[in-house]
Amino acid sequence: MEKSRKGFVPVMLMPFQNDGQIDYPALTRLTELYLRAGATGLFANCLSSEMFELSDAERLQSIRHVVDVVGGAVPVVATGTFAGSLPEQADFVKQVYEAGTEAVIVITGLLAAQSESKAVFNERVMRLLDWTDSIPLGFYECPEPYKRLLSAEQLGQFVQTGRVTYHKDTCLDIDQVKAKIAAAEGYRFGLYDAYMGHAVESLRAGAAGLSCIQGNFFPELIVWLCNNYDNPEVAVEVDAVQQFFIRNMDVMHNVYPIVAKYSLRQRGIDIPTFTRRKVGELSGSVRRSVETLGTDYTALSRSLELVA
């Protein structure tokens, strides 16, 4: 992902049929939706894709499917490290890269146990780099199995190898985000922020773009924000969009990703709401909150003259 371009990289949902099998026609429609909205890249096989509930074969097949649908229009990154020994993780990184991805994403919480030190983690990263040839890598501070945050010093050290080109940040701390961006200055690297609470400030500080679950509700709105975050002519509207996401953060996180799939269905996107993850039920109150959210989005998008 080019650092100079502010972009939206969706953390892709995974559609399933009601029998629990991957719904590949729906995955095609979903991929095309992201592209029409203006996504500058796609993050396949991530937590929103229910990656921990997929088999290795499903992970690879779904990544290949997304890459085929995209057809080179934008880069695709995907997670390549799961449970297992470091050599096993390195082998799967190679398979994910061979599936057509631009970079393979490393889950920070899977390279070292929560009780293990930064030094242990750093040593394993360096070994993984050694064992994966010249494959471009990225990091994802995934909340599962636990969230291991990288310090600016660590990230800078890894980026300086020339192998780390991507980082999905979930620290929720704008000062840490700024420090990480500064530590990677001058390298082919992009930090993509997951936290919409400070999205505008992050973009202004030099983040390459946004990679957030809110993009699975209203991708067009995330793209609009990336395009206009620093446009003085629409400063009032930029603030309104930022506040819309802040105000509705709880709604969008409740029983996610079911709630995102239901929201897309409300917008006329043919995607089942079935999920393999056990996140709770789509209750009547949740449905009503999503429907209210949709009404508010329609009003906001009309004020911005967005084409949904």
Give the tens place of pLDDT for each residue, 264-274. 999 999 999 99
pLDDT of residue 269: 93
Return the percentage of the chain with pLDDT > 90, whole number: 96
Give the tens place of pLDDT for each residue, 275-287. 999 999 999 999 9
Residue 31 reports pLDDT greater than 80: yes
Distance, CA of 298 to chain centre: 24
| 102 DSSP assignment | S
- Surface-to-core class of residue 87, CB atoms within 10 Å of its CB (0-12 exposed, 13-18 middle, 19+ buried): exposed
Q: 154 near 177, Cβ under 8 Å?
A: no
| 21 DSSP assignment | S
Residue whose token pair is 């095609």: 28
pLDDT of residue 4: 44
Residue 3 reports pLDDT greater than 70: no
Please state, in angstroms and rounded to a whole number, the distance separating the CA atoms of residues 173 and 175: 6
Please state, in angstroms and rounded to a whole number, the distance separating the CA atoms of residues 296 and 270: 21
Residue 182 reports pLDDT greater than 50: yes
pLDDT of residue 1: 42
At 67, list the tokens: 């890459």
Quick one: pLDDT band at residue 2, thresholds 50, 70, 90? very low
Residue whose token pair is 């009601």: 18
Residue whose token pair is 């592209």: 35
Name every residue whose Cβ is closer than 8 Å to that of residue 249 and which is 6 or more positions away in sequence: 196, 197
Q: For all residues of the chain together, what is the average pLDDT?
A: 95
Residue 209 reports pLDDT greater than 90: yes
pLDDT, average across residues 90-95: 98
- Strand-pairing partners, residue 140, are 107, 168
pLDDT of residue 306: 83
Give the tens place of pLDDT for each residue, 109-163. 999 999 999 999 999 999 999 999 999 999 999 999 999 999 999 999 999 999 9
Residue 261 reports pLDDT greater than 70: yes
pLDDT, average across residues 53-66: 98
The DSSP secondary structure of 83-152, one letter per residue, reads: SS-HHHHHHHHHHHHHTT-SEEEEEGGGSS-TTS-HHHHHHHHHHHHHHTTT--EEEE--SSS---PPPH
Residue 308 reports pLDDT greater than 80: no
The DSSP secondary structure of 175-225, one letter per residue, reads: HHHHHHHHHTTTSS-EEEE--GGGHHHHHHHT--EE--GGGGT-HHHHHHH
Which SS3 state, helix, strand or coil, does residue 88 take? helix
| 185 DSSP assignment | T
Q: 286 near 257, Cβ under 8 Å?
A: no
pLDDT of residue 131: 97
Q: 8 near 224, Cβ under 8 Å?
A: no
pLDDT of residue 76: 98
pLDDT of residue 307: 56
Q: 38 near 76, Cβ under 8 Å?
A: no
Return the percentage of the chain with pLDDT > 70, whole number: 98
Q: 10 near 43, Cβ under 8 Å?
A: yes
Please state, in angstroms and rounded to a whole number, the distance separating the CA atoms of residues 15 and 25: 9
